[in-house]
Chains A and B, each alone.
Chain A
Amino acid sequence: MISPVLFPLLAACGYAVFGWRAATAWLGALAAAGQLGAAVTLAVATTGQPRTALSGLLRADALSAFMLIVIGVVALLAMLASPSYLAADLAARRTGPRATRRYGILTQAFVAAMALAVLAASLGVLWVAVEATTILTAFLVGSRRTRQAVEAAWKYVVICSVGIALALLGIVLTHYAASHAGLPPAGRLDWAVLARDAADLDPGVMRIAVALLVLGFGTKAGLAPMHAWLPDAYGQTPAPVSALMSGVLLSVAFYAILRVKVIADIALGPGFIRTLLLIAALASLAVSAALLLAQRDYIRMLAYSSIEHMGLVALGAAIGTRLAMAAVLLHVLGHGLGKSVLFLSSGHIQQAVGSSKISAVTGLASRAPLLAGAFGLGLLALLGMPPFSLFASEIGIARAGFTAGLGWAVAVALALTLVIGAGLLSGGRRMLLGPLPPGGTVPLAPPADGAIRLARSAAVPLVAGLLACAALGVAGGPLRHLLETAATMAGATP
């Protein structure tokens, strides 16, 4: 059970000792593959009974195992893409051996911290792991040292640390309520013990605690109103790290909200946290729609789309029925896959074109058919088009919403999603189609005919991610049992 944390940590040590070179470049992918294998084993082992390790410090149930699978899958895609991405950066002298070594260490430690977050039995340890992700990624966000990079890194660290500090206050108050309710000292922050005895917790204190926890972890999950760090940070981060941050880090922070929700549903009744989540969901969708319509930067466009999808996830969690929670979890995995493909391909586009402006990229479909195809299909996946799994999960959330009497919220969300879809499509259309640039005006594009070459090793994760996302949508059968068990663990009401 420790292995999902241990594999990336070992890989981080490997990078610390040997640096980033041809022989170690695939170490990260190897660690991610091992992590994914361990996660699947754990998922099989925890379908019946949660398991603990390290004298109760770690606990895995179906929900943790599912989150570990999401982490493993996205980390695998990002680490498969890293060698070619860094090779291109090294060739263009945008980075050096010291920076690549640091990249190896920090990304692996980052993945390990996320795995620790979903395995922690105590809300306190979960908090420590989530804050550790902020610290570990700070230098990845600011790795270019330009003005924009420093600004993005500063905003990222300050906003996320402050947000997560509010969550810490929420944890302190939960601990207070638990000790007053006479819970044993070792179990006062343990989410399983808290959920079991949640009816004894003082509602007055818990109301403040839960509001702080949702606001705090919501900051890290990119939910409005504390989302401001997200577009800046993604624009200044190496593409594989953006894929990790958008594909899983947001969901890991949301996982914390799911654990809090189980406690809050019993301690305060389901209405309180549902209201909070509905506000956050609709505000996130509205922010995303407003800023996507006239977006001129394709990486920021993807960032706002992440805010949108976290809004949908929050909407599903607010609905909270079994169908909704299973759809939420499927959505988390599907979004992780689709968004990774998009960030990885946009990273290649940015390397070739030298800019993240939409206007700098035209006629991509004829210059780089494979890259353009991956980007276009990824956009369609994010819009919820079949056969990709986001279609199934969005339909699931909408259906569950109408059955649960939250039809108005679903209707508002669907309207906002349409606006967002229009924004994404128009951005994508300008990039993929559009006239070919006249020869020579595009800086850094190597061949004279304006074609963009994509290394074979760079294409593998793009194609694999899209195939996995589509396969999940067409035949999600094997995951069904895990999804339903995990949804029950996340406090789904029948």
Chain B
Amino acid sequence: MSDSVYMPLLDLACGAFLLAGVLVLWRRDLAAIVRLFALQGAALAALVIVLAAHEGSAGLAAAGVAVGGLRAGLLPHLMRRALVAGGEGQESRPLVNVATSLLVAAVLAMVAYDASQPLVRLTPTPATQAVPVALTVLLVGFFVLVTRRRALSQVVGFLLMDNAITATAFLTAGGVPLVVELGVSLDVLLAVLVLQVLTLRMRAAFGGTDLDELRELRD
């Protein structure tokens, strides 16, 4: 693939990846948040496939398809099922309102750009120059995790962080070894399943999944 095609495609995939992550902060409808998460998974898969086409690596392309299957297909499907079983469509009032959240996201992006300078400096290729985008999504995911009050939103926050780490792995060194990648994917999948079961139990015990209710244990 020539650079004139590769660069815009890479930028497009990274842009979609970042946009989907930031838009999670904007929406309060849980179904829309899951859709955005699926969109981000698709952007991540596209990103890996673009990298594969650039390097002409069939293995990397296969990894991209697998990433897409897990993160744009299976995980959103599981979350949608949890959503249907729960019947709670809306995020309750978040700790930080939408406008402030978006401003915070801008600050986080600057922090991510600053923190990733040593990473970009090591090999300034177009791919590594996109690492700050991945780190921004990581910080946004963490922000979602600490400010949102619904169990499902916290799961999405965790998965945004995980998407960001996967993106970093592919952008910096074409992914980690296969054994590790498989193990990581399996662990993430199981973690989501565990959290889904815990959500159901939470609904049975507390009558809802508002995490503000979790205040039985403290010192």
Contact = CB atoms under 8 A, between A and B. Distances in A.
Interface in B195-219: 195, 197-198, 201-202, 204-206, 211, 214-217, 219
A318 B69 CA distance: 44
Interface in B135-179: 138, 142, 145, 151, 154, 158, 161-162, 165, 168-169, 172-173, 176-177, 179
Contacts of A48: none
A186 B177 CA distance: 8
A147 B205 contact: yes
B179 A179 contact: no
B123 interface: yes
B180 interface: yes
A347 interface: no
A205 B122 contact: yes
A128 B176 CA distance: 13
Interface stretch (B4-12, B24-32, B50-58, B186-194): B186-194
Contacts of B161: 162, 165
A96 to B, nearest CB: 16
A26 interface: no
A171 B177 CA distance: 11
A231 B158 contact: no
A235 B190 CA distance: 24
A147 B215 CA distance: 10
Nearest to B202: A150
B180 A189 contact: yes
A61 interface: no
Pick the most buried of A157, A161, A205: most chain B CB atoms within 10 A of its CB. A161
B205 A150 contact: yes
Interface stretch (A33-41, A133-141, A358-366): A133-141
- Interface size bracket, A side: 35 or more
A177 B122 CA distance: 8
Nearest to B194: A138
Contacts of B151: 154
B180 A142 contact: no
A150 B206 contact: yes
Interface string B7-25: 0000000000000000000
A441 B213 CA distance: 32
Contacts of B186: 128
Interface stretch (B37-45, B73-81, B85-93, B113-121): B113-121
Interface string A127-155: 11001101100110010011110111111
A158 B168 contact: no
Contact of B179 (A124, A153, A207): A124
Nearest to A124: B180
A155 B198 CA distance: 11
B158 A176 contact: no
A172 interface: yes
A155 B206 CA distance: 15
B62 interface: no
A491 B30 CA distance: 49
Contacts of B173: 172, 175-176, 179-180, 188
A180 B123 contact: yes
A180 B165 contact: no
A180 B122 contact: yes
Contacts of A300: 219
A169 interface: yes
A34 B36 CA distance: 50
Contact of B138 (A132, A145, A169, A204): A169
Given A154-B151, A179-B173, 12 more contacts: A127-B183, A127-B184, A145-B204, A154-B211, A157-B195, A157-B198, A165-B161, A172-B168, A173-B168, A175-B176, A204-B118, A232-B217
24 contacts: A124-B177, A128-B184, A131-B187, A131-B191, A135-B187, A138-B198, A147-B206, A147-B216, A150-B202, A157-B198, A158-B158, A162-B145, A162-B158, A168-B165, A171-B176, A171-B180, A172-B168, A176-B119, A176-B173, A180-B122, A204-B121, A205-B119, A231-B219, A300-B219
Interface of B: 115, 118-119, 121-123, 138, 142, 145, 151, 154, 158, 161-162, 165, 168-169, 172-173, 176-177, 179-180, 183-184, 186-187, 190-191, 194-195, 197-198, 201-202, 204-206, 211, 214-217, 219
